Amino acid sequence: MKFAFFDAKPYDKPSFEKYGNENGVKFRFFETKLNEDTVDLANGCDGVCAFVNDTINAPVIDKLYDMGIRVIAMRCAGYNNVDIKHCFGKIHVLRVPAYSPYAVAEHTMAMLLTSIRRIHKAYIRTKDFNFSLNGLTGFDLHGKTVGVIGTGRIGRVFIDICRGFGMKVIAYDKYPAKDSGIDYVSTDELFAQSDIISLHCPLNEESYHIISEKSIKLMKKGVVIVNTSRGALIDADALLEGIKERKVGAACLDVYEEEADIFFEDYSGHIIADDTLARLITMPNVIVTSHQAFLTEEALSNIAETTVSNIAEFFADGKCQNELCYHCGNIEECRKNRMGKCF
């Protein structure tokens, strides 16, 4: 089986080559992202392996289908960049629903601690032999209220970490975890009560811009907002205004709404055209990492193993437990729950 592997990075290749060789899957690695201009690179392959910033819209799907490609293997959990509805009846879409919740949850806490204890500023100072403590005063996490939006595996691991710090945890999830002992509240209550808000929910029509001008107005003055989930959960312009108005005390962003053409690339020495991102990065109380939360050795290995396993399972059985279906969630229409595959 030959798969075109788009948006390949040096850290991707070892694990995918290892598990691919073990399961008879050969990857053609391309540094370019998948889009309408690059889709022809997949010609002659049995499928494509894609990532969060690849563009898998209707024209790309139709082109892949015309090439005889019937499988898209996403090597990530998110799939908002895939037109799932247009794939129906043409191409099966597989994903990695979980790889290492610890990787993302731990990065979330790392960003939070770095921000509130000014570790990044202290690091830069001491490199210049400046050992002054002026301007480095932080605050204790112990006793603070953290509002967690999304209590899937990552959200629950982050909640466990927060409890270890002695924090009070409240949460919102459309589908609360049963018998979890989590104190669920409405979004308005969460915004009003939280000293820190951390986002761990998927991106959909309901969660799009869940952090907006309206929700920021409900928040405590000085609130810290952390996002290691999906960029479009936050209205970046509203966040910037909240920071300028001193309503938002700090922001830690591992994702950004318009990251597709920026993150994962080296633009040092270049001028960034995105004015909102450029202004956010200049703010002294904003930390930005470029979609790095997943990047641990364990997670990379799990991603490769699950992706290759998905491919092998589909080609062996004609179906895969990790296939996506745009009908999923609708009991009357979803075929996957009855047939084991979307179509």
The residues annotated with a catalytic role in the active site are: 230, 259, 291
Beta pairing, strands 286-288 & 248-253: parallel
- DSSP conformation letters of 290-332: SS-TT-SHHHHHHHHHHHHHHHHHHHHHS--TTEE-TTTT-TT
Whose CA is closest to 6, among 23, 291, 36?
36
Q: Distance of CA 188 to CAs 147, 152, 174, 214, Å?
A: 11, 20, 14, 10
- DSSP conformation letters of 186-215: -HHHHHHH-SEEEE----STTTTTSB-HHH
- Residue 273, both tokens: 């055209």
Question: Angle between the 101-116 and 119-127 helix axes, to the nearest 10 degrees?
Answer: 70
